[in-house]
């Protein structure tokens, strides 16, 4: 498998999770499908439970970590959804069969921005490869300590991000 490209979003609600799943399925192609949905108590994978109904995700994410696995013949993708510091954090990822070319990666970024422009309640989003972002100490701290982020997508002027990594949505 290739390098994982990730889109991380902090939002006031979980509404974007369904749009992110559709985005991932469309990105993988018409032969993609949801392979599995699980919920777990923590990042140590304690008390992992299968989830049969995708509509349960937002409620479960209030106190659990929800994972959605999406598969196509040569590619994989997924979404993690959890609540941290009163934000719903959504981490969407794609893992192609081989490395993404620069053109493929930039197309992924452009499509992600178009999607995010349609989502309500977004605070900030990051796009990168093999990212490491923690919102446990708030959004400002997440921006300062994140690794692997190529672009920060802002939805308001509340947060300061490095200018060379700043992208804005049409609404900002």
Kindly report, residue by residue over 24-64, the tens digit of the pLDDT.
999 888 999 999 999 999 999 999 999 999 999 999 999 99
Residue 172 confidence class, pLDDT cut points 50, 70, 90: very low
Q: Which pLDDT tens digit goes with each residue over 1-10?
A: 567 889 999 9
Whether pLDDT at 170 is above 60: no
Question: Region 138-156: what's the mean pLDDT?
Answer: 91
Q: Write out the two tokens for 6.
A: 């990730």
For 52-62, write each residue's pLDDT tens digit: 999 999 999 99
Residues 75-132 pLDDT 10s = 899 999 999 988 999 999 988 766 778 888 888 888 888 888 888 888 999 999 889 9
- DSSP for 102-152, written as a single string: HHHHHHHHHHHHHHHTT-SSEEEEEEEEEEE---TT-HHHHHHH-EEEEEE
pLDDT for residue 133 is more than 60: yes
Higher-scoring residue by pLDDT: 8, 170: 8
Domain segments of the chain as ranges: 9-168
| Pairing mode, strands 76-84 and 65-71 | antiparallel
């Amino acid at each position: 498998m290739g390098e994982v490209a990730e889109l991380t979003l902090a939002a006031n609600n979980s509404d974007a999770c369904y749009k992110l799943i559709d985005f991932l399925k469309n990105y993988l192609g018409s032969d993609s499908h949801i392979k599995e949905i699980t919920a777990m108590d923590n990042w140590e994978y304690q008390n992992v439970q299968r989830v049969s109904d995708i509509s349960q995700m937002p409620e479960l994410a209030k106190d659990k970590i929800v994972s959605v696995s999406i598969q196509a013949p040569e590619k994989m993708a997924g979404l993690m959804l959890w609540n941290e510091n009163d934000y719903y954090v959504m981490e969407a990822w794609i893992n192609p069969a081989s490395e993404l070319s620069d053109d493929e990666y930039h197309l992924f970024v452009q499509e992600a921005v178009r999607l995010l422009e349609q989502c309500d309640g977004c605070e900030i989003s990051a796009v990168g490869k093999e990212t490491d972002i923690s919102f446990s100490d708030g959004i400002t701290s997440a921006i300062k300590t994140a690794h692997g982020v190529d672009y920060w997508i802002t939805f308001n002027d509340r947060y300061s991000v490095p200018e060379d990594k700043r992208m804005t949505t049409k609404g900002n």
